[in-house]
Amino acid sequence: MITEKMIPAFQKAEGGLFSSVEKADVGDAVVKLKERGVALMSWADPFYPDPSMPPHVAEAMIESIRSGFASHYTMPIGSGELKAEIAEKLKKVNGLTVVPDRNIIITPGSDSGLFFAMLPFIHEGDEVMIVDPSYPNNFQNTEIMGGVIVRIPVYAENGYQFNISDFEERLTKKTKMIVLTNPNNPTTTVYRREKLLELADFAVKNDLVVVVDQAFEQPVFDGIEMVTIAALPGMWERTVSVFSFSKGMGLSGLRVGYLVADDPIMDKLYGAAVSVVGATNTSAQVGAIAALRDDSFMGKYFECFDRRRRIVYDSLHDIPGVSMQLSESGFLSWVDVSGLGTESEVLAYLGEHALVSINSGAPYGEEGKGHIRIVHGVFSDNQVLEEAVGKMRKALFRLAKEKGLCE
């Protein structure tokens, strides 16, 4: 078998998140689900499958193609104009003051950015501390690079915030890095300032590298403060921050993300950027500039996602066998269904009786078992979402009845 020549992390790759849909054959599986009238609520893609690009972003991109500007690479590795806009945003939103050409690398989406952020640091056997549950790529990237995953479990009882003692207890001579998804996917948790200060202190004391993925930094609800860990004392020099236009701005199709770090790290990243991530699409970068210059459309998204997180919470939290918290950020809901069965049983039941496709919690880590993730940010029409959630409520009540949990 040719695959036996692969490294173990690839030998065990099975279509990742989509393996429960159909092995690596994502496109076809989606078509089949759509034909059955299944509502797809498993793509963390705002308003999917409906169009969501603001007209001024589309216009800028079209013009870049018409004028011929988009025929070529942006140099060096990312548009200087985009980096200047990003630097403004970093100052305003993240409290980071950076030199645009020095401290920012534009990446084709933040998935590749996340991989690139970790890659230079991880030697075989290095231990990487990762909150569990969190974004599956954190675990897979670590394994691909020959690192060792050290799981930091978080629980509903603490609002899914981490305890610093869990990091301290797992520290060894081999600990190299902390990878933090903040806000977290799937739990939507926004790590509080006091928690991040403790983590920063721990990282500084033990000379650890921090990779933080802030793809979901906007929107954050209920006035919760979104703290950029790289802006905390002692953190700038040891943190690589990963950002994206895909989530808060709903521009996933642009495939634009960016990395931010201090000069010594960046010099090395720039040295390898062409071979590891390559250039990002030129017209997409033009679109990203337009989105940053006029981001007023995000206000509408905030209202929409705020309303929808409440709809999902109000519809599901009181079902026997189900427990959940109101989402703190983004457009996801994280639901504990362990009182009703395994996550696969509940998914299959919902697929059949509510015609919805949602995510199993299992790929998000050990603590994801017994959970499901619902992407409530899909569809532009609220009513489509409300109907799908209504069907889920009915189906879960029915399942609870079958399990003898209610009349």
**Interacting residues toward ligand PLP by CB under 6 A:** 44, 109-111, 114, 135, 181, 185, 213, 215-216, 244, 246, 252, 257
Which of 257, 370 has the CB closer to ligand PLP? 257
User: Is residue 144 classed as helix, strand or coil in its secondary structure?
Assistant: helix
Task: Kindly state the smallest distance separating residue 205's Cβ from ligand PLP, in Å.
Answer: 27
Task: Kindly state the smallest distance separating residue 395's Cβ from ligand PLP, in Å.
Answer: 26
Task: Kindly state the smallest distance separating residue 190's Cβ from ligand PLP, in Å.
Answer: 13
Burial class (CB in 10 A: 0-12, 13-18, 19+), 328: buried
CA gap 144, 401 in Å, rounded: 44
CA gap 255, 320 in Å, rounded: 41
Q: Which residue has the tokens 């920012």?
A: 104
Task: Kindly state the smallest distance separating residue 130's Cβ from ligand PLP, in Å.
Answer: 12
Q: Are 10 and 340 in contact (CB under 8 A)?
A: no
CA gap 343, 312 in Å, rounded: 18
Which of 63, 143 has the CB closer to ligand PLP? 143
What DSSP character marks residue 275? H
Which of 175, 246 has the CB closer to ligand PLP? 246
Task: Kindly state the smallest distance separating residue 215's Cβ from ligand PLP, in Å.
Answer: 4
What lies within 8 Å, CB to CB, of 304 at 6+ separation is 377, 382
Which of 321, 368 has the CB closer to ligand PLP? 368
Which of 284, 395 has the CB closer to ligand PLP? 284
Task: Kindly state the smallest distance separating residue 184's Cβ from ligand PLP, in Å.
Answer: 8
Q: Where does 87-194 show beta strands of DSSP type E?
A: 104-107, 127-132, 148-153, 175-181
The CB-nearest residue to ligand PLP is 109
Which of 319, 378 has the CB closer to ligand PLP? 378
CA gap 362, 373 in Å, rounded: 10
CA gap 368, 358 in Å, rounded: 14
CA gap 100, 117 in Å, rounded: 18
Task: Kindly state the smallest distance separating residue 243's Cβ from ligand PLP, in Å.
Answer: 8
Which of 209, 396 has the CB closer to ligand PLP? 209
User: Is residue 142 classed as helix, strand or coil in its secondary structure?
Assistant: helix
Q: Nearest 5°: phi and psi at 402? A: -60, -30
What lies within 8 Å, CB to CB, of 66 at 6+ separation is none
Which of 258, 397 has the CB closer to ligand PLP? 258
Task: Kindly state the smallest distance separating residue 375's Cβ from ligand PLP, in Å.
Answer: 9
